[in-house]
Structure 1
Amino acid sequence: MTTAPVLPIVTGVDGSVESLDAVRWAARAAHLHGAPLEIVYALDFSALLAGGVVPPPEEMKDVLRIRGRRYLRAAAELAAAQGVPEVVTRLDPDRAAQALIDASRKASLLVVGSSGHGKLTGLLAGSVASAVGAHASCDTVVVRGDTWDEPGAAERPVVAGVDGGEASTRILTAAFAEARVRHAPLVVVHAAADEPQAREPDRAALADAGHRLLTERLRGHDTEGVAVEEVVVQSHPRRELIERSATAQLVVLGTRGRGGFPGLLLGSTGQALLHNAACPVYLVRGA
């Protein structure tokens, strides 16, 4: 009896500090899950087309290849230091987002970096993160913040946002898997939007309904070895998850909420977390 090969965790590198953070996070995740790691550098030859049609001279392509190989060597050495079992590097002629989306078709997880606000590089990194989060064929992690790399960060919980939609089962499956391999507690959050004028009995009824929803969604999941805390709050989901990200090592949510529609590939909560979370964000792809 043969076993199916373990799909790799894929990450991209572009020489920035943010992409090297993504490599370190991806390498540690590969070590925890016993998965190989694939590191991609996108050459983006299309950006060199003169007038949009004339191909660049081969010398310019060679410069990009040399730079890419240098970045990949440095990233592979960084990954190996994290204990990853196997590292493969690859140059891709396409643009960064498309190269990573293509690679996600044969990956178990896609990991990208995201820089802060107010910088052109941050805007570019944000566009790649949003694109792969919306279009990747596998789950995506966007590595944000610095807290995940601090001493004691491994003791922080994994936080999962559950709204009761059809994606809740997949979100909880991913959240339990991450909490289990990290030996971390799991906080499952159901947040309903604020209703300032709601009467106290109505708030109590909403809270009861939220607890019943979480109990139902958690039923069938193997909780052995994972300390689970259920949290029901009257708050906007994006605000609640952003606040909890400050004391979490990972936030897990779906790419589209219960109120989403087919054209909304990455919901408002996901977009808010990509730009404001204080820790890495794990986006569980839609069905």
Structure 2
Amino acid sequence: MSPSPIVTGADGSAESLDAVRWAARAARLHGRPLEIRHALDFPALLAGGEVPPPEDMLDALRARGHRALRTAQELAGAQGMPDAVTRLDPDRAAQSLIEASRTAALLVVGASGRGRCAGPLAGSVAAAIGTHGRCDTVVVRGDRWDEPDADGPVVTGIDGSDTGRRVLATALAEARAREVPLVVLHAWADEPPAELDRQAVAEAGRRLLDARVPDTGDVEVARVVVPAHPRRELVERSAAAQLVVLGDRGRGGFPGLLLGSTAQALLHNAGCPVLLVRTAGPPVRP
């Protein structure tokens, strides 16, 4: 059975082409096929939700979609993935990619795309997939990862939750594949109470990292304990990283919580790509 693909979307925007480049490099790095989708968004054209648009309008959208896919496929080929599969989907972009996440190994999207508003916030498609995707998801942010001499570390956070083991394993695998160091951060308090024995809590954090983070021998690992706000610390460290790896929910998560506050903050503010590891249930497919 062939490995499940890395899936990305191409809408013609610069952000989506960044996602295609990142996804192609990841597919080559991990030995997976690449699938590139373009959503035609036909449901948005139904007048009153019922009356279909003229056929020549649909033909024009299909032609534009094929051009966007050709450009993306050529770009993927330049990254070492000449056999990327392309697909036109009549559905909306978010729905198309969420459906693909049922069998994909990884979804990769740009931070924003067509219809985006000015500013640093993640676009609606990235936010929807980050919240509702069924497999691990990368939102491509920043541009340092695309520099020829990019050698920043992979950064992850650990909070002591059981789901953190999967996040750590993913972060280790990414650091190993990229041949870069891994920084494992434990930021032990959002708002530390003044009366808290900070030294004792910091020592507990160090014991947690020593117990959870293995010495692999092939990945340089830095264990960092800081009495700081986890979201702020991760955002600051993302400026010099090539990838931040997070769980979609942390220790405070519960079944009804679709996306943790730290994950949301990084999706909107990180200076590098963010990999969200799905922590509810087993991975989608090998």
Matched, 1:27 2:24: yes
Q: Is the 8 A contact 2:8 2:35 kept in 1?
A: yes
Task: String of CA shifts for 1:89-111, please: whole Å, max 9, x gaps.
Answer: 00011111110011111111100
Distance 2:144 2:121 in 1: 22
Matched, 1:186 2:186: no
Report deviation, 1:205.
0.7
Matched, 1:53 2:50: yes
Q: Are residues 36 and 46 of structure 1, via their aligned partners in 2, closer, same or farther at CA, if it must alter by over 3 Å?
A: same
Aligned to 2:108: 111
Aligned to 2:224: 231
Report deviation, 1:123.
8.6
Aligned to 1:243: 236
Given candidates 156, 159, 168, the residue that maps to 1:172 is 168
Aligned to 1:132: 129
Q: Are residues 277 and 84 of structure 1, via their aligned partners in 2, closer, same or farther at CA, if it must alter by over 3 Å?
A: same
Q: Are residues 125 and 13 of structure 1, via their aligned partners in 2, closer, same or farther at CA, if it must alter by over 3 Å?
A: farther
What is the DSSP-based 3-state SS (H/G/I as helix, E as strand, rest coil) of the residue aligned with 1:145?
coil
Q: Return the letter of the residue paired with 1:90.
A: R
Distance 1:114 1:60 in 2: 28
Distance 1:123 1:278 in 2: 10
Q: Return the letter of the residue paired with 1:13.
A: A
Distance 2:72 2:195 in 1: 53
Report deviation, 1:57.
2.0
Q: Return the letter of the residue paired with 1:203.
A: R
Q: Return the letter of the residue paired with 2:14.
A: V
Distance 2:121 2:236 in 1: 25
Report deviation, 1:87.
0.4
Distance 1:259 1:61 in 2: 46
Q: Is the 8 A contact 2:7 2:100 kept in 1?
A: yes
Report deviation, 1:263.
2.0
Report deviation, 1:196.
5.7
Distance 1:8 1:164 in 2: 31
Aligned identity (percent) is 69
Given candidates 1, 8, 13, the residue that maps to 1:11 is 8
Aligned to 1:218: 213
Aligned to 1:145: 142
Q: Return the letter of the residue paired with 2:224.
A: V
Runs (5+) with no aligned partner, structure 2: 281-286
Aligned to 2:284: none
Distance 1:32 1:123 in 2: 28
Report deviation, 1:128.
1.0
Report deviation, 1:61.
1.2
Distance 1:80 1:104 in 2: 23
**51-60 vs 135-144, which moves further:** 51-60
Distance 1:121 1:47 in 2: 23
Distance 1:86 1:8 in 2: 12
Matched, 1:209 2:208: no
Aligned to 1:67: 64
Which has a greater percent of helix?
A: 1
Tell me the TM-score normalised to structure 1 length: 0.92
Distance 1:121 1:62 in 2: 30
Q: Is the 8 A contact 2:155 2:241 kept in 1?
A: yes
Q: Is the 8 A contact 2:112 2:125 kept in 1?
A: no
Q: Are residues 268 and 15 of structure 1, via their aligned partners in 2, closer, same or farther at CA, if it must alter by over 3 Å?
A: same
Q: Return the letter of the residue paired with 1:99.
A: S
Report deviation, 1:248.
0.3
Q: Are residues 136 and 115 of structure 1, via their aligned partners in 2, closer, same or farther at CA, if it must alter by over 3 Å?
A: closer
Q: Is the 8 A contact 1:194 1:234 kept in 2?
A: no
Q: Is the 8 A contact 1:184 1:226 kept in 2?
A: yes
Runs (5+) with no aligned partner, structure 1: none
Task: String of CA shifts for 1:156-211, please: whole Å, max 9, x gaps.
Answer: 10001111112111101110111011001000011122426245xx1111111111
Aligned to 1:86: 83
Q: Is the 8 A contact 1:8 1:38 kept in 2?
A: yes
Tell me the TM-score normalised to structure 2 length: 0.92
Matched, 1:163 2:159: yes
